[in-house]
Amino acid sequence: MLKNLRVTTSKYIDETSRISFKFNGKAYFGYKGDTLASALLANDVHLVGRSFKYHRPRGIMTSGSEEPNAIVQVNNNTALTEPNVRATELEIYHGLEATSQNCWPSVHFDIGGINNFLSPLLPAGFYYKTFMWPANFWEKYEYVIRHSAGLGKSPTEPDPDIYDHKYIHCDVLVIGAGISGIIAAKTAAKNNLKTLLLDEKNEIGGSTIYQNSEHVKINDQNSSTWLENEISELRNIKNLEIKTRTSVAAYHGYNYLLARENLTDHLPKNEKNKKIRQRLLKIRAKKVIVATGSLERPLVFNNNDRPGIMLSSAVKKYADYYGVATGQKNIFFTNNDTAYESAISLNKKGIKVKAIIDIREQSNTAFTKEAENLGIKVYRSHTVVNTEGYKKINKITIMELSRDGQSFASPEKIELDCDCLAITGGWTPAVHLFTQSGGKLKFREKDQVFIPDIYPSNQISIGSSNGDFELDDIIKNSTKSLKEFLNINETEFDNLEINCPKDNQIRTIWLLPSDKVLGKTKPFVDYQNDATAKDIKLALKEGFKSIEHVKRYTTTGMGTDQGKLGNMHALGIIADTADIKVGELGTTTFRPPYTPLTFGTMVGRNVGEYFDVFRRTPMNDWHIKNKAEFENVGQWKRAWYYPKNDETMHDAVQRESKAARDSAGILDASTLGKIDIQGTDASEFLNRVYTNAWSKLAIGKCRYGLMLNEDGMVYDDGVTTRLDENHYIMTTTTGGAANVLGKLEDYLQTEWPELDVYLSSVTDHYATASICGPNSKKILNKLIPDLDLSDESFPHMSFSNAKIDNIKCRIMRISFTGEHSYEINIQANYGEDLWKKCMEAGEEFNITPYGTETMHLLRAEKGFIIVGQDTDGTMTPIDLQMDWIVSKKKYDFIGKRSLYRSDTMKEDRKQLVGLVTDNPTEVLEEGAQIVATINQTPVEMLGHVTSSYYSPNLNKSIALAVVRGGKNMLGQKLFIPMEGKNINVTIVDPVFFDKENVRLNV
């Protein structure tokens, strides 16, 4: 029979809405408003997992995002599975199935528990000293290590959930909706500032909304009642947007923050469908107010990790907020007064508090007095030296501390039965986001806390995240800071009457003494990674001094909780051991995310078809309809080849290539960059950006141009046409278009502002159909009968304006294939129809559409380079045997100076050559390395193959390659070593076909 530890109703739990869920295969129920943790505790389930290294039984320790132990696998063995979910944050819903992690076969009986007994062999850093012998066993060790690593299991199927992003701009962002955050948000919004208030919990109000102490009053009301009234007013304030279940993950520079908004994780399965699961908020705020509160510290003592050992504030929250008793024989162990408030609260609900163990000698505040008045036994100057109970705590042993707190006043031990030990070691301000943003901390000795000191601009911290722990300090200091920060004179909170206990004295002992030697104890500092105080001292002994090294050597603070509970203790133990001040040590670097983010949240809708942006040509639909296979060229989808009747790519390309040279081919060339250039200095501009000369290019003529970077290396090429006296159109490579335009515009604006030149991109404005082959002229003649296509009127490398059915177009007679060729440029929305008209006109000539693969082959037959294929940013024009295109007369052009560096003038640079194979049917692999000798080690690599095809027009394989000193090696035989064979090749002229260019005029 399941025990029910729900002892009281709570307005935050809807007991009319019963929810059934499963944990480790067993059915339980809870209520709407419960987290998995509160529901399990209500069912008296404490054992929820096993620790990482020692597989020690672990229970729920906290009530929030700092939870180290109660991390579970949700929806195991489904596409929705998620590892390492904190049970303290997971709101239960109908159908929830969660399982413990890091245990097999079950959390109650775990084979890995043997590690606990082997723990002397597994101290921090043991893996640096083991698994080395014998060396050939390493792969066996690796297999075991890999299977032991991690806690939860990654999903193996695609995530079916939908995630999204949202950009938000606001005047003021308030992070944290506890009492100080609510004051800040209300103040900002009522002063007409667009305000966004975020909180990671499902209800706002922090811990104050369930505070029910007689000793804490605001304007004579209970603090919780006062705050509830403020919250109800918040909803009606214009300018204020509140988001709950939203955790700020990262605080970047200039007030750019990322937050994760959970939208459906708390909903029943049938209500989640097709809704956004989580959303990444990308927030840009003019001002940020950090009100992230503070995290309770545990205490570090022997066996401080058993199920049933919990933070005192968590025990209070489970009782006051969730109405759940975490135990029936509760004991509190403390170094400050907050445990007394928790104990009193439990007592008032009828939950038994057996004792309070207080390491301080005395405390005389309202809380301590009330606790004693209620008859709760207080053991002053005592510490816990041991706990017992393997799967749930059942006993503690305490001893009286010496005055200095380092040993014992007497050897007497007292044993106390308990089933829940609530511990508190004070509070650590949550300064993670503050430091992520670049803020600097200072150390306050009084209560051993790091608090904000130097702020980046437009940011403040308030409340306990700023080191204020008492309510009057919180409210007074917050309002004072807000007035200055928001530049206002007064707030409605200026004259509140606040009563609260003062002088909460804290006594910090980072590592509480034990009656056993340290080596025989297990005082955990990092619960998740099983790092103990002994490990930290070992690291120091082994020479690691810096906190960053100790962290990594011991893995303290490196788990999914990022050491939220234990990092301060690690610092304290290091400081005490090394006899330095904690303030001098500093903290390790806080990095985002604050709590784990799913990949889905980070990626948003950039999945599937939206993973990358795709660009399509105007003829795209026609290509699809005609069964083209596509390839990605940058972001463009380009027709790659058009297989017919189950052709392979090779067969299709062979057919297309032959048809283009035998009769006619047509290529969609719309993707090439097109830049319109106008201005009286357009010619001069072209002279500066290309290597060759442009001033004398006649109107109506086209010229091929090569562009270099300032280092002299080729980075783009294309044909530019002179349309009119001061008007050119430049083409670029498909992939280089945006870069080229950006670079040219940059030069005009920054280097040559005196030039009268204007650039406009028209890449998308024009569709381009390129018709090539011996029958291309006949086809064009059918399309435009009135256009004079004679070589005299329309020679190669010229252009003509024309009209087809009243639509203006431009026709360039240029060729990338070496065939007689025309490129028709027409406004894009007529592009598909133009293509169809070309196909219709060309039908009698067997016009064959060809794709990029055939285009590559045909140009390679002519030895034409493709920038980015045959070049890689390290080739000069001379390397490419294109000396002819480098003007000797021009005063200057981009990259000219670099061509005369000693390095670029060397004779043995890699140079473009042609390669043929001894076996003409053997096609080389692109990228294959080229060597001169085979049986030499190490072998010198002379170069590599850049382009390689089987040419149906030459009936042999051809390749372009770059080879060291290649242009002087014509006829030389070389080798291409491949796996299992060596291929013999000969260096030849890179122009394989029609070297005289006769076919241009056929």
Partner 1 sequence: MFNYKTSIKGNITYSDLTIEEFKPIMKLIIRGKTKDFITAIGKNLNMVLPTEANTSTSAEKLTAFWLSPDEWMLISNETVSEDSNTYQVEDELIKNISKVKLGAVTDVSDQFVMLNIKGSKVFDLFATGSPFNFNEFKNKKGSVVQTILFHIDVIVHLTEINEVNLFVRRSFSEHLHSWLNDSASRL
Cβ pair 852, 981 in contact under 8 A: no
Q: Does 632 bind partner 1 (CB under 8 A)?
A: no
Q: Does 933 bind partner 1 (CB under 8 A)?
A: no
Q: Does 761 bind partner 1 (CB under 8 A)?
A: yes
Q: Does 624 bind partner 1 (CB under 8 A)?
A: no
Among 931, 856, 405, 450, which Cα is nearest to 667's?
Answer: 856
Q: Does 119 bind partner 1 (CB under 8 A)?
A: no
Min dist. Cβ of residue 764 to partner 1 (A): 4
378 is written with which tokens? 């207080």
Listed in sequence order, the residues at least 6 apart from 470 whose beta carbon sits closer than 8 Å to its beta carbon are 500, 501, 502, 504
Q: Does 832 bind partner 1 (CB under 8 A)?
A: yes
Binding-site member from 746, 805, 903, 925 for partner 1 (CB under 8 A): 805
Q: Does 808 bind partner 1 (CB under 8 A)?
A: yes
Report whether the peptide linkage leading into residue 452 is cis, meaning its omega lies within 30 degrees of zero.
Answer: no
Cβ pair 86, 65 in contact under 8 A: yes
Quick one: CA torsion of 973, 976, 980, 981, rounded to 10 degrees?
-20
Q: Does 579 bind partner 1 (CB under 8 A)?
A: no
Would you say 126 or 758 has its CB closer to partner 1? Answer: 758
Q: Whole-angstrom Cα distance, residue 754 to residue 742?
A: 18
Helix or strand holding residue 976 (H, E): strand 973-978
Q: Does 800 bind partner 1 (CB under 8 A)?
A: no
Would you say 128 or 610 has its CB closer to partner 1? Answer: 610
Spell out a b/e string for 563-578, using b for 16 or more CB atoms within 10 Å of the CB, else e.
bbbbbbbbbbbbbbbe
Would you say 96 or 828 has its CB closer to partner 1? Answer: 828
Q: Does 257 bind partner 1 (CB under 8 A)?
A: no
Q: Does 590 bind partner 1 (CB under 8 A)?
A: no
Min dist. Cβ of residue 166 to partner 1 (A): 5
Min dist. Cβ of residue 169 to partner 1 (A): 4
466 half-sphere exposure, CB direction, 13 A CA radius: 27
Binding-site member from 215, 282, 391, 956 for partner 1 (CB under 8 A): 282
**139-147, 357-365, 831-839, 840-848 -> range binding partner 1 (CB under 8 A):** 831-839
**Hey, which bits of 233-373 come out as E strands?**
240-243, 246-252, 256-262, 276-290, 294-296, 309-311, 330-334, 353-358
Q: Whole-angstrom Cα distance, residue 124 to residue 142?
A: 18
Residue 901: CB atoms within 10 A of its CB come to: 12
Indicate the SS3 state at residue 54: coil
Min dist. Cβ of residue 274 to partner 1 (A): 8
Q: Does 807 bind partner 1 (CB under 8 A)?
A: yes
Binding-site member from 758, 922, 932, 988 for partner 1 (CB under 8 A): 758
Min dist. Cβ of residue 832 to partner 1 (A): 5
Would you say 517 or 613 has its CB closer to partner 1? Answer: 613
DSSP 8-state symbol, 750: I
Listed in sequence order, the residues at least 6 apart from 172 whose beta carbon sits closer than 8 Å to its beta carbon are 184, 185, 188, 189, 193, 194, 195, 196, 285, 286, 287, 288, 289, 486
Indicate the SS3 state at residue 457: coil
Min dist. Cβ of residue 165 to partner 1 (A): 6
Min dist. Cβ of residue 770 to partner 1 (A): 17
Spell out a b/e string for 940-971, using b for 16 or more CB atoms within 10 Å of the CB, else e.
eebbbbbbbbbbbbeebbbbbbbbbbbbebee
Radius of gyration of the chain (CA): 38
Q: Does 630 bind partner 1 (CB under 8 A)?
A: no
Q: Does 633 bind partner 1 (CB under 8 A)?
A: no
Min dist. Cβ of residue 664 to partner 1 (A): 22
**336-344, 502-510, 564-572, 800-808 -> range binding partner 1 (CB under 8 A):** 800-808
Indicate the SS3 state at residue 283: strand
Binding-site member from 618, 712, 773, 851 for partner 1 (CB under 8 A): 618
Q: Does 699 bind partner 1 (CB under 8 A)?
A: no
Would you say 742 or 873 has its CB closer to partner 1? Answer: 742
Listed in sequence order, the residues at least 6 apart from 92 whose beta carbon sits closer than 8 Å to its beta carbon are 19, 21, 30, 34, 35, 36, 39
Min dist. Cβ of residue 669 to partner 1 (A): 13
Binding-site member from 202, 477, 726, 929 for partner 1 (CB under 8 A): 726
Q: Does 137 bind partner 1 (CB under 8 A)?
A: no
672 is written with which tokens? 């090439």
Q: Does 684 bind partner 1 (CB under 8 A)?
A: no
Q: Does 631 bind partner 1 (CB under 8 A)?
A: no
Q: Does 613 bind partner 1 (CB under 8 A)?
A: yes
Q: Whole-angstrom Cα distance, residue 323 to residue 13?
A: 8
Would you say 275 or 545 has its CB closer to partner 1? Answer: 275
Question: Scanning the structure block, which residue is given the tokens 């399309």?
Answer: 783
Q: In what order do the strands lie in the sheet with 498-499?
A: 221-222, 217-218, 498-499
Q: Does 626 bind partner 1 (CB under 8 A)?
A: no
Cα torsion angle, 421, 427, 431, 433, sign = positive
Min dist. Cβ of residue 742 to partner 1 (A): 12
Q: Does 614 bind partner 1 (CB under 8 A)?
A: yes
Residues 190-209 that bind partner 1 (CB under 8 A): 194
Q: Does 754 bind partner 1 (CB under 8 A)?
A: no
Binding-site member from 18, 22, 269, 275 for partner 1 (CB under 8 A): 275
Q: Does 672 bind partner 1 (CB under 8 A)?
A: no
Binding-site member from 804, 932, 939, 991 for partner 1 (CB under 8 A): 804
Q: Whole-angstrom Cα distance, residue 688 to residue 682?
A: 10
Q: Binding mask 156-185 vs partner 1 (x if CB under 8 A, - otherwise)?
A: ------x-xxxxxx----------------
Would you say 279 or 910 has its CB closer to partner 1? Answer: 279
Min dist. Cβ of residue 801 to partner 1 (A): 12
Question: Scanning the structure block, which residue is given the tokens 């949700």?
Answer: 74
Q: Does 246 bind partner 1 (CB under 8 A)?
A: no
Q: Does 736 bind partner 1 (CB under 8 A)?
A: no
Binding-site member from 77, 829, 982, 997 for partner 1 (CB under 8 A): 829
Q: Whole-angstrom Cα distance, residue 812 to residue 504?
A: 87
Q: Does 828 bind partner 1 (CB under 8 A)?
A: yes
Q: Does 802 bind partner 1 (CB under 8 A)?
A: no
Number of shown-chain residues binding partner 1 (CB under 8 A) = 52
Among 653, 623, 577, 589, which Cα is nearest to 858's?
Answer: 653
Min dist. Cβ of residue 675 to partner 1 (A): 10
* Phi–psi pair at 188, nearest 5 degrees: -65, -50
Q: Residue 800: beta bridge partners?
A: 811
Q: Does 636 bind partner 1 (CB under 8 A)?
A: yes
Would you say 72 or 162 has its CB closer to partner 1? Answer: 162
Q: Whole-angstrom Cα distance, residue 428 to residue 589?
A: 16
353 half-sphere exposure, CB direction, 13 A CA radius: 30
Q: Does 797 bind partner 1 (CB under 8 A)?
A: no
Interaction site with partner 1 (CB under 8 A): 162, 164-169, 194, 275-276, 282, 284, 605, 609-610, 613-618, 620, 636, 671, 676, 678-680, 726-727, 756, 758, 760-766, 804-808, 827-834
